[in-house]
Amino acid sequence: MSSQVFQKQRRSARHANVAAADADHLLNDLAPSCAGSFAPDLDAQLCACALEKSYQKGPVEIPVLQGVSLTVREGEMVSIIGKSGSGKSTLLHLLATLDAPDAGEIYFDGQRIDNLASAYRDELRNRYLGMIFQFYHLLPELTTLENVLAPLMIQHNVWGFMGRRRQLRESARELLDLVGLSHRLRHKPRELSGGEMQRAAIARALVTGPRLLLADEPTGNLDFGSGREILDLLRRLNAEQNLTIVMVTHDLAIAEQADRSIRLVQGRIEGAA
Ligand code: ADP
Ligand code: MG
C-alpha cells in the first residue's frame, strides 16, 4: 500500500472545485468565545468546547450532551467510549456538522465550524471530513466502484466529473486496492460480506482526501475477525497516512486500539479530554 495514493487523493481534492468557493474562504474566522473554563485549543485539528444538546420528545426535553469538551490533534487516533444511549452518536454528528449544538462551539484547524452556512458546511464535509457508520450506508443499486466514485461526482459536478472520469476512476480503483477490494469492483453491496462493505465505505470516505475520519461503531455489525481487520486497516491509515481518526464504540477492547480513549458518561466527559 503506498502513501502516494492517499496523498494524491488529498492533492486532487484540494484542486477540485476550482469554480466553487475558494477553500481559504470556506471557514469563518470568528474570535473564539467559548463559555466555561475550557479554552478552545486553536492549534488542535479538532476542538469541541462546552457542547450541549437536548432532544425534545413531546413535552419532555431529553438532555443528551451536557457540556462536552474535547481536543484532537492532527494524526491522533482517539476513541470515544460510552454505554448505549450515552450520546456518542449525537456527539459524532455534531463534530461532523451533520447537526448543530444547542450551545458550545466546534473548531477545525482553529476555525469555527458549528455555525457555518449550509453551503460551506457541505463543502467542509466533502473536502476535509470522511465518515463511516455501523451499517455502512452504501447505495444498494451501485457497484463497489460506483459507490466510491459517488463523492467525486458530487465534488466535481457532472461535467467536471465526465471530463476527468478516467483519472477519477483510476483514483477510486487505487483506493479500493488499498483497502483490499480490487477483486470486488463490480459487486453490489448485497454481494459483499459485512467486512467488505465496511472496507468499501472506508474507500468511499477517503476518496475525497479527507484529513479527519469520523467513525461511528465501525465494527459494531461485524464478527470478531472482520472487526479486527477493519481496526487494523484504520490503524494502518492512521499510522501511514497521518489520517486523524475519531472512533465511537461501546466496546472497551476496540477502544483500547486507539492512542487515547475519551469516556462519555451521561452526556459528560469523564476526566480531562
Ligand atoms: P449512543 O450513540 O451513545 O448510543 P445516541 O447519541 O444515539 O447514543 O443517543 C443518546 C440519547 O439521545 C438516547 O437516549 C437517544 O434515545 C436520544 N436520541 C438520539 N437521537 C434522538 C432524536 N433524534 N430524537 C430524540 N431523542 C434522540
Ligand atoms: Mg450510537
Q: What is the pLDDT of residues 173-187, one digit of tens each?
A: 999 999 999 999 999
Q: What is the pTM of this model?
A: 0.88
Q: Which domain holds residue 82?
A: 3-270
Dihedral class, residue 252 (left if φ above 0, else alpha if ψ from -120 to 50, else beta): alpha
Ligand nearest to the CA of 135: 2
Residue 24: pLDDT band (50, 70, 90) is very low
Rounded Cα gap, residues 215 and 143, in angstroms: 22
Mean pLDDT on 74-103: 96
CA distances from 12 to 44, 175, 271 (A): 24, 14, 40
Q: How confident is the model at residue 1, as a pLDDT?
A: 42
Q: From the CA of 34, how far away is ligand 1's center (Å)?
A: 25
- pLDDT, tens digit (0-9, with 9 covering 90-100), for 50-65: 999 999 999 999 999 9
Pocket flag, ligand 1, residue 61 (CB < 6 Å): no
How confident is the model at residue 155, as a pLDDT?
A: 86
Residue 160: pLDDT band with limits 50, 70, 90: confident
pLDDT at 158: 81
CATH at 138: 3.40.50.300
Please choose from 56, 60, 62 the residue to mutate so as to test ligand 1's pocket, defined by most ligand atoms within 8 A of CB.
62
Ligand closest to Cα of 81 equals 1
Structurally, how many domains does the chain consist of? Answer: 1
DSSP 129-179: EEEE-TT----TTS-HHHHHHHHHHHHHHHHHHHHTHHHHHHHHHHHHHHT
Closest protein CA for atom 1 of ligand 1: 85
**Who contacts 131 (Cβ-Cβ below 8 Å, separation ≥6)?**
96, 125, 205, 213, 214, 215, 216
Residue with cell 413531546: 58
Residue nearest to atom 19 of ligand 1 (CA): 90
* Residue 86 near ligand 1, beta carbon < 6 Å: yes
Q: Does the Cβ of 63 fall within 6 Å of ligand 1?
A: no
Rounded distance from Cα 53 to ligand 2 centre (Å) = 15
What is the pLDDT at residue 21? 40
**Residue 39: band (very low, low, confident or very high) from pLDDT cuts 50, 70, 90:** confident
Q: Which atom of ligand 1 is nearest to the CA of 248?
A: 2
* 85 Cβ inside 6 Å of ligand 1: yes
